[in-house]
Amino acid sequence: MPRRDEYTWNTMIGAYAGSGRLAEARGLFEEAPSKSSITWSSLISGFARLGHADEAFRLFGQMQLEGRQPSQFTLGSVLRACSMMGLLRKGEQIHGYAIKMRFDLDDFVVTGLVDMYAKCKLIIKAECLFETVPEKGNPVLWTAMVTGYSQSGYGFKAMKCFRDMRSKGIQPNQYTFPSVLTACGAVSASDFGAQVHCSIVQSGFGTSSFVQSALIDMYSKCGNLGNAKIVLETMEIDDVVSWNTIIVGFVRHGFKEEALSLFKQMRENDVKIDHFTYPSVLNSFASSEDSQTAKSIHCMIIKTGFEAYKLVSNALIDMYAKQSSMDLAFKVFGNMLDRDVISWTSLITGYAFNGSYEEAIRLYCNMRISGIDPDEIVLSNILSSCGELTVLELGQQFHADFIKSGLSSSLSVDNSLVTMYAKCGNIEAAKLIFDAMENRNVISWTALIVGYAQNEAMSILLEPSLYVFCRYRELSDDGGLDFGSRIGAVE
């Protein structure tokens, strides 16, 4: 083998690491007669880019032990690993090291720090670092900030940052556009999203499947399904993610027939369906009477082996429950090897919704025995079931279990507690729960007032706040609750 100089070794290690062939890169690294900072950085960068954070950190530590001083490129690579894995403490250590080595003002390092803090949800710290950069000409730096805002739920800030970036003449890259489009979708800013679409076309990224997918997602979330479909039809390669996204959009906005039509078109185009496709399609049948078509989709799921995915089985349970086909829902549940809280919730809610309160309670007990903590949907449904059956003692036991387990309450659960105690005749407990509630809505007030009415405690309705609410409900003609006549009887 010809003799290689350091440059050749570094180039080959970098090429293997860059293409994801880390074993070969590591082998060459071990064979290299001398290892400079560039050699170490090339290998660390490869491991960091592919998400092998532990190995990247181990190599970084070994590099320092062997007396090699990390470069700005090395620190940036390690910070990338911190960003990808959400390792805030490690990132802060690297930040401290960068300050010590006076690399903290280096453009490459600052960009890595901004990205790391933003990905770890420390947006204010990311902003402060961003502002320290005097010449903000690096599109990667701007992209890190836009992405940070977007992923942290600051949609309008992400859009403003993108606008500032454009006003300074900085050209967005293929990663900037999806991030700002995600922000637009999150806040339903369809007009701004359309402007971004124009910038995408002008910048030459209109044919990028990554960007097109983000466009479909943005238009779908904003309810502009026509534009979403146009983008889908212009895609050169049928991408399953894009198809899934637009189907979700049609279902979310109530166009379930169109969603089913897209699913059929997806199959005709030989798009490879995945386990994310079926839940959205199944949701199209949730309130439909077309049970035969739903069963056909279920058969397709079984044939393709997707029933093994919890996401798909949970969607099947939910669909059958909403169609009142509880035998089929229970069969899917019984075939599951691994169940999560959503599996139990879907089935228990289905039984409660269809009036099988005893079965809902039985399943809830089995759920607790299985070690699964209930969510607020299950708690609300199980308390409602106790109320419908007027089993006060059982409802009290569930309430005690809920408190002892340290499960967080919610408006929905509190409303169900008020309803349960009122229906079971313990109006005093219902009033105690009501008074202790930090937030109340129309359901809270209605539950308590109906409870008083049902328990013949009519004089309480003369309490000013309740009286005003009763009159409001009477005037709004909501629900046919005969408050007016009952109040009149007291008056």
My answer on whether 346 and 284 are in the same domain is no
Residues contacting 262, CB < 8 A, separation 6+: 243, 246, 247, 250
Mean pLDDT of the chain: 86
In the numeric block, which tokens belong to residue 391?
Answer: 């089993």
Distance of CA 321 to the CA centre of its chain: 24
Please compute the mean of the pLDDT values over residues 302-325 and round it to a whole number.
Answer: 94
pLDDT, greater one: 69 or 153: 153
What are 429-460's pLDDT values in tens digits? Answer: 999 999 999 888 989 888 888 888 877 655 55
My answer on whether 385 and 443 are in the same domain is no
Please compute the mean of the pLDDT values over residues 191-213 and round it to a whole number.
Answer: 94
Expressed as residue numbers, the domain containing 256 is 240-329
Mark which of 404, 419, 439 sits at the end of a domain: 404
What's the pLDDT score for residue 484? Answer: 47
My answer on whether 373 and 431 are in the same domain is no
Residue 199 included in any domain = no
Q: Are 446 and 473 in contact (CB under 8 A)?
A: yes
Q: What is the pTM of this model?
A: 0.77
Residues contacting 88, CB < 8 A, separation 6+: 82, 116, 117, 120, 122
Mark which of 103, 134, 165 sits at the end of a domain: 134
| Residue 60 CB neighbour total at 10 angstroms | 24
Please compute the mean of the pLDDT values over residues 459-470 and round it to a whole number.
Answer: 52
Mark which of 404, 423, 455 sits at the end of a domain: 404
* Torsional sign, CA 8, 11, 15, 18: positive
Residues contacting 347, CB < 8 A, separation 6+: 317, 321, 329, 330, 333, 363
| Amino acid in the structure at residue 460 | I
Q: Are 319 and 283 in contact (CB under 8 A)?
A: yes
Please compute the mean of the pLDDT values over residues 339-354 and round it to a whole number.
Answer: 96
Q: Are 165 and 141 in contact (CB under 8 A)?
A: no
Q: How confident is residue 351, by pLDDT bands cut at 50, 70 and 90?
A: very high
My answer on whether 121 and 12 are in the same domain is yes
pLDDT above 60 (res 491):
no
Distance CA 71, CA 163 (A): 33
My answer on whether 23 and 110 are in the same domain is yes
Please compute the mean of the pLDDT values over residues 115-132 and round it to a whole number.
Answer: 92
My answer on whether 414 and 289 are in the same domain is no
Percent of the chain with pLDDT over 70: 91
My answer on whether 372 and 413 are in the same domain is no
My answer on whether 305 and 388 are in the same domain is no
My answer on whether 323 and 347 are in the same domain is no
What's the pLDDT score for residue 490? Answer: 42
Q: How confident is residue 286, by pLDDT bands cut at 50, 70 and 90?
A: low
What are 4-42's pLDDT values in tens digits? Answer: 677 777 788 878 877 778 888 888 888 877 777 788 888
pLDDT, greater one: 380 or 47: 380
Give me the number of domains the chain comprises: 4
Residue 160 included in any domain = no
Q: How confident is residue 332, by pLDDT bands cut at 50, 70 and 90?
A: very high
